[in-house]
Amino acid sequence: MKKGKYTEKQFIEYLDRLLAGEEISLGDDVSDEVRSALELAKKMLAYRDEPSPAFRANLRDRLLRKLAEEEAAAPARREERRDWTAKLFPQSLVWRAATSAALVVLLVVIGAIWYAGRYGQMSAPAPAPPSPMLEGDYPVSLPSNIVPEHVAFMADTALSAKPGQAQVYEIQGVDITTESVTELGKRLGFSGEARFIDGGAKIAMFGGEGEDMRELIVWTASGAIEYGYVEPDKLYPPYTPGLPSQEEAELIAYDFLQQADLLPPGYEDFARVEDEAAVIAGGSYSVGERYAEETVQQAPAYWLVSFPYRVDDNWTTGPGSNIEVSIGDGGEVARLLWSWRQMTPRTTENIISQKQAYDALIQGEGSLDIPLNCEQVVVEDVQLKYWINPPSEKQDYAVPVYEFTGRCLDKSGRHIEDFTAWTEALSKAY
């Protein structure tokens, strides 16, 4: 087998195992290109959320840039592989980018159902012993920093130069069993017994057939819940859906959480959360846009109801900080993402100032991901929040971070897209 074909076959095999939820161990015969692409795929799996149109539009360019930069950083290795890289590399970059993009979309639409039968009878693996931690050592796993060269930063908001203090919270462990998931499934209208899938990383239930097939996924590491219809037309119907009003959608979502016994403490009274809950248009579409000479105002395909997730007086942030309910045609709950975690205060730690955090961000010490054509980053707001890891990861402590939000501008000063960035807040981090 030719080396190039072998490399692509090797990557596909490892990627298939990652999708199945397996832990992979790479042998010495795995090339640096395959290692890099697989590491990227792992990150995509860890931070998977429903991709926005802007994310999908920029994903290919960002993957191409990242892989190209890694290749350029190792000229010696490139010289040694010149005999076969010349044939593999140009098409491989595009192939890898397209594969990763497809990975995100497929995970959103299909989820765990592909592998339910294959891993349905597996038992959960024994939890790994916790790593020894020094007193006051609280690591934060922020996403990678991906910023084009020569980007200018500007703070369009006041930045406090005063350091302070903040709590670190201990996250209570969860005991997720097939019995507990089966009980939850009954409250959501499922029948039968829950079973382990994805190598024990999740417990799942499935019900219905065809376009009415639903899935319930619970992550054993965190207790996070994903529920919804497998058929994407439930969220993206090929017709104009009959949606309730935004106010009605908010109440439908709240009642759904209440009936499923998924309301966090303090949510017993709807009046306490209705002013903080956000309802936004999701999956917008337009009829006949292809033939329109002017831009057609897009209508929502569903309402996305997002409930606040607080730690005392602070908001949470990160890929595991979501309590979201999607309300579709006829007021039906089409999707649920629930990642609430019980916490208790552990210690009070010193934190850096907003100005110090901003300086760290512009020096590349934080986490910011912006498009290639962004020439200026305008920071419009900064808040102290608590970072929550992806649902696939067990988390021991909730640590404060600074969250920056604002706009990306092109060379003409036009708005490209909004951004969210983070830096660690604990003073010992810098």
Residue 104 has pLDDT above 80, yes or no: no
The enclosing H or E element of 6 equals helix 3-19
Q: Are residues 42 and 185 in the same domain?
A: no
Asked if the structure places residue 147 within a domain, the reply is no
More confident position, 117 or 99: 99
Q: Are residues 228 and 350 in the same domain?
A: no
Q: Are residues 223 and 323 in the same domain?
A: yes
Q: Are residues 401 and 384 in the same domain?
A: yes
pLDDT of residue 265: 83
Asked if the structure places residue 140 within a domain, the reply is no
DSSP E strands, 105-201: 152-155, 164-171, 195-197
pLDDT of residue 78: 36
Q: Which residue has the tokens 């920071």?
A: 379
Asked if the structure places residue 232 within a domain, the reply is yes
Whole-number Å distance between alpha carbons of 343 and 257: 20
Asked if the structure places residue 123 within a domain, the reply is no
Contacts of 169 (CB under 8 A, 6+ apart): 311, 343, 344, 345, 346, 386, 397, 398
Give the helix, strand, coil percentages of the chain, each rounded to 5: 35, 25, 40
Q: Which of 198, 156, 207, 170 is nearest to 378 (CA)?
A: 156
Are residues 260 and 254 in contact, defined by beta-carbon separation less than 8 angstroms?
no
Q: Are residues 338 and 348 in the same domain?
A: no
Task: Tell me the CATH number at 162.
Answer: 2.40.128.690
Q: Are residues 204 and 332 in the same domain?
A: yes
Asked if the structure places residue 114 within a domain, the reply is no
Q: Are residues 199 and 335 in the same domain?
A: yes
pLDDT of residue 6: 56
pLDDT digits (tens, 9 = 90+) for 203-230: 999 999 999 999 999 999 999 999 999 9
Residue 171 has pLDDT above 80, yes or no: yes
Residue 417 has pLDDT above 80, yes or no: yes
Please name the residue ranges forming H helices in 73-157: 75-80, 82-109, 116-119
Asked if the structure places residue 132 within a domain, the reply is no
In the chain, the N- to C-terminal Cα span, in Å, equals 50
pLDDT digits (tens, 9 = 90+) for 242-254: 999 999 999 999 9
Asked if the structure places residue 116 within a domain, the reply is no
pLDDT digits (tens, 9 = 90+) for 334-353: 999 999 999 999 999 999 99
pLDDT of residue 136: 52
Residue 400 has pLDDT above 50, yes or no: yes
Residue 376 has pLDDT above 80, yes or no: yes
Q: Are residues 319 and 177 in the same domain?
A: yes
Asked if the structure places residue 141 within a domain, the reply is no
Tally of structural domains, the chain: 3
Q: Are residues 246 and 328 in the same domain?
A: yes
pLDDT digits (tens, 9 = 90+) for 139-166: 888 998 888 888 999 999 999 999 999 9
Q: Are residues 166 and 205 in the same domain?
A: no
Q: Are residues 199 and 334 in the same domain?
A: yes
Q: Are residues 331 and 351 in the same domain?
A: no
Domain that holds residue 86: 3-109
